[in-house]
Amino acid sequence: MRLLFIIITAFLITAFLCMLTAATLPCFAVDVLTNEQNDFFEARIRPVLVEQCYSCHNSTKQADASLELDHRPGLLEGGDGGKIVVPGKPLESRLLAILRHEIPGLKMPQGAAKLDKQVIADFEKWIEMGLPDPRDRPPTAEEIDKLTSWEVVLEKRKQWWSLQPVREVSPVSDVNNAWSPHLVDRFILDKLQEKQLVPNNPADANTLVRRLYFALVGLPPTAKESNHWVAELSRPHGYDALVEHLLNSPHFGERWARHWMDWIRYADSHGSEGDPSIENGWLYRDYLIRALNADIPYDQMVREHMAGDLLEPPRIDAVQGVNESLIATAHWRMVFHGFSPTDALDEKVRFIDDQINTFSKAFLGLTVSCARCHDHKFDAISQNDYYALFGIMSSCRPGRSAIETPEKMGLNRKVLHELKPRIRESISGVWLESVATLRDKLCRDDELWKKVDNKSVLFPWAMLEKDLSKGLSFADAWRNQSDVWEKSRTDREAVSRGQVLQRWNFARPDDLASWTRTGVGLYDNEPSTAGEFVVDISGDNALLGIYPAGIYSHRVSNKHPARLTSRDTKIDGEFDLWLRTIGSPLSSARFVVHDYPRKGVVFPTVDCKNQWQWQKLDMSYWSGDTIHVELSTAADAPLLVQNEPRSWFGVREVMIAPKGQSVPTDSSEHLDPWFEIAAQSPPHSREDAAGQFATAVEFAIQAWQKGSATDQQAILLDLCMKQDLLPSKLDELGDAKDLVSEYRRLEGEIPVPTRVPTLEETDSRTQALYVRGDHKKPGDEVSRGFLSAINASPYSTKQSGRLELAEDILRNDNPLTRRVIVNRLWHHLFGRGIVGTPDNFGRLGHLPSHPQLLDHLAARFQSQDGSLKEMIRYLVTSKTWQLSSRPSSAAIQADPDNNLLSHSHVKRLEAEAIRDSLLAVSGRLDSTLYGKPVSGDSNRRSVYLRVTRNALDPFLRAFDFPEPFSAVGRRDVTNVPAQSLTLMNDEHIASMATSWMTVLLADKATADDDRVRSMFIDALGRTANRDEIELARRYVESAKQTYAAIETQATELESQIQNRQSAIDQRLALGRAQILVESKVKPAIDDPICPPPIGRWDFESSAEDIVGSLHANLLKGATVNAGALIVDGKGYAVTEPLKQTLKEKTLEAWLQLDSFDQHGGGVMSVQSSTGGLFDAIVFAEKRDGQWIAGSNNFHRTQSFGGPTETEAVSRPVHIAIVYQLHGKVIGYRDGKPYGEPYQSNGPLEFKAGETIVSFGVRHLPAGGNRMLKGRILRAQLYDRALNPEQVIASAQSIAQYVSDSQILASLSETERKQVELDRSQVKEWKSRLEKLRPKNGHSSEIMAWSDLARAMFTFKEFIFVK
Amino acid sequence: MSMYDDLNSTVSRRRMLQRCSNGFGAMALASMLNQTAIASPDSLPVGAALKATHHAPKAKHVIFCYMSGGVSAIDSFDPKPLLNRDHGKPMPVKIERTMFNKNGLIMGSPFEFTPAGECGMPISNMFPHIAKVADELALVRSMTSPLSEHAQANFFMHTGFPVMGYPTAGAWAAYGLGTENQNLPGYIVLQSGSATAPHGGVSLYSNGFLPAQHQGSIVKADQAEAIRNIRPQEAISIQRRRLDFVKQFDEPFLKDSSDVQIEAAIQNYETAFRMQSAVPDLCDISGETKQTLEMYGVDSPDVEMSAYARQCLLARRLVERGVRFIELSCLTRKIGAGNAPNPWDQHSELEKGHRAMALQVDQPIGALIQDLRSRGLLDETLIVWAGEFGRTPFSQGSNGRDHNPYGFSIWMAGGGVKGGTIHGATDELGYYAIENKCSIYDMWATVLHQLGVNHEELTYRYGGRDFRLTDVHGNVIQEILDGSPA
């Protein structure tokens, strides 16, 4: 019916149109197409229809909006919205408006980029031509499938420029052209000449030096360097020498590592709730710096990034003895991890997507991640390709590996191994002697068994004795014990026969074979046999333990890393995981769901214990999901790292059993050797039984000596040794003592390994494609492999395939890899890539401005073994790179965006370079290389700042530091007010200006003009001209006057404040005295004995400093209420920075504790702004219940040895700590000396502007056991050491302390109003004063020059490089 | 030139002139063709990515009251009598995986519900003030989210994606529609007292891949330094003198390169300079009447309520100043598992915790709606009240509830929504949404719709595809909009 309708309609339309247009327009029946028309359709129209339209508008499967575009009648008929074309009438054809995206909501092709202008023009022409079209009938389903199949689409998409082979052609311009023979320049010149443009003049020497410094090392040249190199540049090869100099600078690596870190979304934490740290991730940053400085070939670096853990041989840094290749894999782990997801597979899919997204953009310039849910909309990437890569990544788990070389990690391992049998021989000899007395000892020495518990080897003996003492016959009494043992043995066997999903017995090599062992602690291929023992590396005992057969990480040393993981297991149903383990307390065991590495309520972990135990984990929550089992030492857990240098574990069995199945027990295995002897010839007396026990032990020793002990014998010996039935102390062990000492010495030489986050290879897996990206809808399985556009053959490796992936990225015929990297280099050097979208070489990326040049660079890069330095040298030695940035008027006209590079781009410095410049110019820069991440207030280069995903550095963020979640090859360069506000108002910037000027002004002899000159050189790398000097000088002059005037005003204001304040004080003192009289307390007029403090907080209604300006801010829920600062173990308060430097001092506080059961909470601290240095009143840190003068790492702390606090919960106490100038520290409680004063190596000098006072926290950062729980009623800080008399006076004042509100209430209405008025006046004056006067107390001269320095920091020339 | 310029994406002025001189005028043509018959769109301020709204907007501003931690729907806006009847009985349906896996028995609501307003919408007695404006509320009881974990659910709720890196709704709005006040950012996040960013951190307010000027600017409503570095640490005259001095050097530098980004950076200092007074002026509420302060609860002895009230009051002042998108932040009361980033998170002590949190926000939000109404601003301001998910009908432990993303309530008010509407429903235990299920995408599609934006048309090309706030989903919830059939 429908078909008929269409035919009729089509016929009618055609007929109608023919009639209508016959006179003026050609009309086509299908059989009358001319060759020309046919060619036009086939060449220009049909491919577009097929590629862009058929999949949604066809006559067989899908006709969105009832529109069929796969045959002419369908096209002419139109769809639900009516006709879309009118033959011969482009203006009436809606199709063109749709293609031009002029109709809201109707932009075709849907979800895709607008078609090229040329293509739309072709359609316009086609319509004009009357739509010549040979497609007279709808194609069949097969025909459509064939046309729209991925293979066909792929072939088309493979034609995209970036997938074409790299081809070298010569530039057109003459090699002998006057400008430059450099190939880069000739390619540039070719394009310029097309537009009749000429290259600009070269930049001047100052500009070039500055430009080179920033480009290559990211720092400004110092004045000396600038002067030197500017002069050098005028000599032959001077420029080349500077390039060499900078390429060889260690700061080159820092600069370029930061670019690389952008490509790979470097971060030090995982983000999300909790934002856990990526422990030791910074070693990867240092790896980059080292590799770039050493100019490791790019191919090698890419290989290391993909599969550095699998490379044979790896690249070793011989000096450090570390495996460099391995460190590179840490980037795989810098993914965002959600917090305790209830759908762990979803989370896994997300983090693999993050990995694929990042590496494919970084190294291939492709957005592979777009193909997660469907074939890529524009590029030659199918959904299959995505899951081929996904399979590679899902064959790996988060891991953690030691970076030391096998030699370094295996130091002394062989010798120690060999030493062990000798130790065993020696000990067993002593034991065999001692066992002779065991029978008698047991019969005679009641103390041996009187206090034993049921885990003791002598428990049956104790029970036997008990029964005998009750009057049972020996035979009955013995039978009781042998029955107990029989039953326990039956129970054990029942458990071992119980139904389980899986069971692994690590005595059996076959069971171990399917597990992955990581770390030198588990390098041996076989499990340990029974009788394995471990030498104790410290203390009185010779041995740590004698073990049954199983797996042990500490056979040689407990510094050895170890992690043991099972294969993946799907758990359908409700199961428990059982593990039989032993280990040091921070070693852990867990099941890992879909490789999710964090822990949480539904991701539980159990810690090992120092004795054998069965541990159970309920896995029923995860029924239907896939898990694996993981045992790990403290530092080897992939994410839950505990930085404990020594840690170990052992495991005998693991099983997955139905939930609630009977509990396996450890009991009485050790009794087997004894009771088995007794079972053969039952004892008749105590002596018999004791004799059999001794015999069992003796047999066990003999067997152990020969290396043939059973599990039971090993456990028996372990217990005998630990329960003093056999000598265990070194002093009792004869020769063994020396051997153990030797063992300990050699073991001590083994280094503590450094671990980095890595990947762990597991079973290679074939990934099921997720239909529409939905992980709950697995589709067909996809073989692992690379992008089929480049290499379509699947991987067959038993490893994950990352090695193959690396090789495919680096294939000679992979046209992307080298183009992408040289373009990245070009982008960072020239300010804009040849391809403007460095992370996207696909259809939605920019086209290359100079495709031939790009190919030339890619080919050259490859032929020079991927040397990054060589390429950078090549680029910066081109004339193009050295052009002046001032455009010619012709260039502005012909090429306003400077795509053709007739001149240099002006570049705004990156956030890091701005910060580093400020530090460098102000003389604060600490140019130490490498190391742990630091916070933003450090003076280290910005590349070392910690990248905490949830708390990125605000300064860097303001200047477009990228959020680390995807490859960023081209940073945003924005212009937001936060940037101006930072440079205008950030106190840090102001203080850098002062630092700089303090140095410059130290030389009084320098004339002002010269000082200005050197400032220009320092900050801008150029000499100031006469006008500039004059302007600057005048500015400083006028600023000096201003600051001097301010000083006068401020002094005046200060005295006003003082006067008014004393008026208030007087009025209040009267009221206070009145109240004290009424309450019969003897008034003490404002104590003449006590000097004024520099800070006083009464916490009456706020945390303001009522004598100075050290106002405290309440944080994390600290409150001020009822005249006290209330802290609850989380809240605390921090003041504004001190305006004076503090050396000798007194800290004083009145406080009440919430409870005595708290440890290490700080009452009041003076500290550096980050808490690195501090002096504090601390409760119960070193000893329970005692007050101490806390300090960083106890540097200035000793115990006062004062009495344990017993009152501070029920009433407020007064605590003061006096720090005398020569280091003596005296504590006071309620005005009386507390314990004994001591001599410290203090006092430390706390610097003005960098010191704060805190309350409720021992030191910053706030957290952990540094927090106090209690109420701080009042606190005072003095800049001097009070004497005992003064402390007493101050302490007593609390008794006479009358609150402000009490006093106010006692005043008359008029008086009160006056006080309030005066106070608000004082407050206003104070705030005026604060605004008026700089906080740092510098002279008006320094202030004026610093003002100029700040101005220079805000010069655009400071942050833009020409 | 607008105060915020993305030097990458803004078409350079030179290039613009070039284009015009070549006679393309493509932009003018495009905007002419955008004039469709649906409704006449509004022109937008300079700097907006859209040339005009897609249709006539109902709202110009959004106030997003984010109830971080997850408010229990069944204790607030979705009464379920069956819960109280079957209190203590086991759940009759399968329990989905929960965060803490401590699933107890059915737990009745400790709150009473009273019909409010002329519409008779039942509202829990924890919200007496919001109940007074019930006739303004369009309630959606059938919200769903795919995520039951705070950080990811917060990201999802803000950006449509469960991880960091994507633009947040406020950034999309500011990007698409620009801002009317050139001295204030277009997207402002208010905080006061103990309020902090929800789990996930400040990336929840990120511009993602959109130009940076659209990121949320945190304004600390009760602090002297309301915006980082907004306070000059010296006399303003000194600063002015310095800026004037700097200009004398910047201008020749600009001339030397005639680079548009340098010109923009010079302008930027002037904007920043003006912001230094615009922000304190915004935060200075001394001109508000005592009556207003009382109505909001600014003078409340309850510290949290007072601080939240200050945010609500500033929200109104921001609306008056033309700011596009304002997000409010709850303060912490550490009850149950509730903490500063997730104060509504009562895994235990649900009643106590929800009462305390409701006390904090109820009066201020109620006052905000009334105040906007009485000033004639409610019509142009869309208020969105939502948490990242609801809470389970069964207990966790003895008296808490775990996360429930399968069915929960949000509401909107003002901005052209149909007050007094209830849309969608959960099952009779309030566990799953069963009627007219709505997604977070639908919620944002609706918000954008009210702002005059077709959510499918506000896109940004990044990393190989065109991104939207609603990803590839979202339907406008027509039923809660004015003009839809009753």
- Beta strands A649-658 and A575-583 are antiparallel
Indicate the average pLDDT of chain B. Answer: 89
- The pLDDT of residue A924 is 95
Q: How far apart are CA A324 and CA A291, in angstroms?
A: 9
Interface of B with A in 360-389 (CB under 8 A): none
User: Is A257's pLDDT higher than 70?
Assistant: yes
Contact A273 B3 (CB under 8 A): no
Share above pLDDT 90 across residues of chain A, in percent, rounded to a whole number: 68
Q: Does the CB of B227 have a partner CB in chain A at under 8 Å?
A: yes
Among partner residues B7, B165, B465, which is closest to A974 by beta-carbon distance? B7
Could you tell me if A1149 and A1162 are in contact, meaning their C-beta atoms sit under 8 angstroms apart? no
List phi, psi (to 5°) of A1328. -65, -40
The whole-number pLDDT of residue A51 equals: 81
Contact between B74 and B431 under an 8 Å Cβ cutoff? The reply is: no
Q: How many CB pairs under 8 A join A and B?
A: 274
Length of chain B: 486
Bridge partners, residue A532, by sequence: A547
For residues A940-953, give the mean pLDDT: 96
The full 3-state SS of A827-845, as one line of letters, equals: HHHHCCCCCCCCCCCCCCC
B192 close to B306: Cβ distance less than 8 angstroms: no
Check residue B309 and give its pLDDT: 98
Nearest to B54 among A104, A621, A1354 (CB): A104
Helix H or strand E segment including B299: none
* A922 neighbors A996 (Cβ within 8 angstroms): yes
Q: Which residues contact B238 (CB under 8 A, 6 or more apart)?
A: A1039, A1042, A1347
Ranges of H-type helices in B284-337: 290-296, 303-320
Higher pLDDT, A201 or A1092: A201
Q: Is the preceding peptide bond at A1261 cis, omega within 30 degrees of 0?
A: yes
Report d(CA B336, CA B347) in Å as an integer.
5
B3 confidence band (pLDDT: 50, 70, 90) = very low
Of B6, B212, B242, which has the smallest distance from its Cβ to A1347's Cβ?
B242
Per-residue pLDDT, averaged over A941-948, amounts to 97
Residue A842 pLDDT exceeds 90: yes
Rounded-to-integer distance, Cα A1306 and Cα A37, Å: 105
For tokens 């804009």, the residue is: A832
The residue of chain A with its CA nearest to that of B218 is A978
Helix (H, G, I), strand (E, B) or coil at A1305: helix
- pLDDT for res B39: 56
Joined together, the tokens standing for residue A280 give: 């030791």
Spatial distance between the Cα atoms of A1145 and A1220, rounded to a whole number of angstroms: 7
Beta bridge partners of A296: none
The least confident of A1059-1073, B136-150, B435-449 is A1059-1073
* Model confidence band, residue A1098 (pLDDT cutoffs 50, 70, 90): confident
Name residue B113's beta-bridge partners. Answer: B124
- How far is residue A1309's CA from residue A1300's CA, in Å, rounded to a whole number? 15
Instruction: Give A562-576 pLDDT, tens digit per residue.
Output: 999 999 999 999 999
pLDDT at residue number B12: 43
Residue from B427, B420, B317 nearest B375 by CA: B317
This prediction's pTM: 0.82
- Judged by DSSP in three states, B430 sits in coil
The minimum CA-CA distance between A85 and chain B, rounded to whole Å, is 19
Asked if the model's pLDDT at residue A13 lies above 80, the reply is: no
Structure tokens of A960?
A: 């477009």
Mean pLDDT of all residues belonging to chain A: 91
Distance, in Å, from the CA atom of A411 to the CA atom of A779, rounded to the nearest integer, reads: 50
The answer to whether A1303 and A1072 are in contact (CB under 8 A) is yes
Q: Say whether pLDDT at A1014 is over 70.
A: yes
pLDDT tens digits, A524-546: 878 999 999 999 999 999 999 99
**Which site among B238, B456, B460 would you substitute to test the A interface, given the most A Cβ atoms closer than 10 Å to its Cβ?**
B238
A974 beta partners: B6
Nearest-neighbour CA in chain B from A1013: distance (Å): 15
Determine how β-strand A322-323 pairs with β-strand B438-439. unpaired
* Distance separating alpha carbons of residues A361 and A483, to the nearest angstrom: 70
What letter would DSSP give residue B204?
Answer: G
- Pair B400, B348: CB distance under 8 Å: yes
| Other Cβ atoms closer than 10 A to A449 | 20
DSSP summary character for residue A1241: S
| B450 and B417 Cβ atoms separated by less than 8 Å | yes
| Closest CA of chain A from B329, distance in Å | 15
Residues from chain B that touch A378, judged by Cβ atoms under 8 A, are: 464
pLDDT at A921 over 90: yes
Smallest CA-to-CA distance from A9 within A113, A82, A108 is with A82
Closest to B133 (Cα-Cα) out of B362, B462, B393, B337: B362
Chain A nearest C-alpha distance from B51 (Å): 13
Mean pLDDT in residue range A1151-1159? 90
Distance (Å, whole) CA B308 – CA B194: 10
d(CA A646, CA A558): 5
- The predicted pLDDT at position A1086 comes to 53
Which of A1325-1339, B51-65, B178-192, B199-213 shows the lowest mean pLDDT across its residues?
A: A1325-1339
C-alpha to C-alpha distance for A773 and A375, rounded to whole angstroms: 11
Instruction: Look at residue B15 in the predicted model and tell me its pLDDT.
Output: 39
> What phi and psi, each to the nearest 5 degrees, are found at residue A1358?
-70, -35
* CB contact residues (below 8 A), chain B span 325-364, against chain A: 332, 334, 340-341
Position A492 confidence tier, pLDDT thresholds 50, 70, 90? confident
Let me know: does B298 contact B309? Beta carbons within 8 Å.
yes
Helices and strands (DSSP H and E) totals, chain B: 12, 20
* 3-state helix, strand and coil shares in percent for chain B, rounded to the nearest 5: 35, 15, 45
Query: Is some CB atom of chain A closer than 8 A to the CB atom of B212?
Result: yes
Q: How confident is the model at residue A394 (pLDDT cuts 50, 70, 90)?
A: very high
User: What's the confidence (pLDDT) of residue B358?
Assistant: 97
CB within 8 Å of chain A, chain B residues 281-320? 303
pLDDT, average across residues A364-368: 96
Please answer yes or no on whether A272 and B152 come within 8 Å at the CB atom. Answer: yes
Q: Is A1072 helix (H, G, I), strand (E, B) or coil?
A: helix
The answer to whether the Cβ–Cβ distance between B163 and A343 falls below 8 Å is no
> For residue B37, which residues of chain A lie inside 8 Å, CB to CB?
none
Cβ–Cβ under 8 Å, residues A339 and B198: no
Partners of A1097 in the β-ladder: A1275
What is the band of A455 on the pLDDT scale with cuts at 50, 70, 90? Answer: confident
Minimum Cα–Cα distance from B227: chain A residue: A978
Render pLDDT for A791-803 as a digit per residue (tens, 0 to 9): 999 999 999 999 9
Q: How far is the C-alpha of A1147 from the C-alpha of A1234, rounded, in Å?
A: 14
Question: Under 8 Å CB-to-CB from A694, ≥6 apart: which residues?
Answer: A435, A436, A438, A439, A442
Using CB atoms, pick whichever of A338, A885, A897 lies closest to residue B151: A338
Mutate to test the interface with A, among B100, B229, B260 (most CBs of A within 10 A): B229
Contacts of A886 in chain B (CB under 8 A): 256-258
* B275 touching A (Cβ < 8 Å): yes
Distance, CA of A1078 to CA of A1084 (rounded, Å):
14
- CA gap A1036, A1042 in Å, rounded: 10
Q: Identify the pLDDT of residue B33.
A: 36
For tokens 């777009």, name the residue. A370
Lowest mean pLDDT among A412-426, A704-718, A1084-1098, B151-165: A1084-1098
B229 close contact with A: CB closer than 8 A: yes
Please write the tens of the pLDDT for every residue from B100-109.
Answer: 889 999 999 9
> Can you state the angle between helices A711-722 and A686-706, rounded to 10 degrees?
110
Kindly report, residue by residue over A645-670, the tens digit of the pLDDT. 999 999 999 999 999 887 777 668 99
Which one has a higher pLDDT value, B361 or A11?
A: B361
Q: Distance between CA B11 and CA A285 in Å, rounded?
A: 36
Q: Which residue type, as a one-letter code, is found at position A125?
A: K
Mean pLDDT of A899-910: 95
Res B229: pLDDT: 94
Candidates B12, B341, B463; nearest CB to A839: B463
Shortest Cα distance from A61 to chain B (angstroms)? 22
Q: In chain B, which among 95-154 make CB contacts under 8 A with chain A? A: 96-102, 147-152
Report which of residues A718 and B261 the model is more confident about. Answer: A718
User: Is A984–B229 a contact, with Cβ atoms under 8 angstroms apart?
Assistant: yes
Q: CA of B146: which chain A residue's CA is closest?
A: A343
pLDDT at site A1198? 87
Lowest mean pLDDT among A717-731, A877-891, A1002-1016, A1279-1293: A1279-1293
pLDDT digits (tens, 9 = 90+) for B264-323: 889 899 989 999 999 999 999 999 999 999 999 999 999 999 999 999 999 999 999 999
Residue A763, pLDDT score: 83
pLDDT band of residue A18 (cuts 50, 70, 90) is very low
Helix (H, G, I), strand (E, B) or coil at A191: helix
Residue range A1189-1204: mean pLDDT, rounded: 89
